């Protein structure tokens, strides 16, 4: 009987997890769209950074749903965008990119230290 309650508890949580995943995917599509919009208005390093952001968020989208019709999802989100929403997303998504960039930098430093330890002639 106890296992039935546990199973019921797990099954009742599934829709909430699915809804959260859908919202996260929607947010990632919005970030991709905002970065794509903004990249059209800038040049140089800003354009490169925004293109990298669009690639990052497309990876997030494909990672959560490999079979997504990204074009349809992007068009749907783009149709609902306002300039205010794009501005807010650029700040929000930019902060996420900064957090992820720091994580990657920390991993890179740790791996460099590990590689130095494993270099020939080191013990």
Write out pLDDT tens, residues 71-92.
999 999 999 999 999 999 999 9
CB-CB neighbours of 58 under 10 Å: 19
Which residues, 6+ apart, have CB-to-CB distance to 12 below 8 Å?
Answer: none
pTM of the full predicted structure? 0.76
Whether the Cβ atoms of residue 65 and residue 26 lie closer than 8 Å to each other: no
- What is the per-residue pLDDT for 119? 78
Alpha-carbon distance of 43 to 48, in angstroms, equals 8
Region 108-122: what's the mean pLDDT? 84
């Amino acid at each position: 009987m106890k296992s039935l309650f546990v199973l019921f508890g797990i099954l009742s949580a599934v829709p909430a997890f699915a809804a959260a995943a859908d919202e996260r995917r929607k947010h990632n599509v919005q970030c991709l769209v905002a970065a794509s919009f903004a990249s059209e208005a800038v040049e140089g390093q800003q354009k490169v950074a925004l293109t990298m952001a669009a690639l990052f968020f497309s990876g997030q989208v494909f990672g959560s749903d490999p079979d997504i019709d990204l074009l349809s999802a992007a068009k749907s989100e783009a149709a609902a965008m306002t300039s205010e929403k794009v501005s807010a997303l650029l700040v929000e998504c930019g902060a996420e990119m900064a957090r992820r960039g720091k994580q990657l930098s920390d991993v890179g430093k740790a791996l460099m230290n590990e590689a130095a330890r494993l270099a020939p002639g080191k013990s």
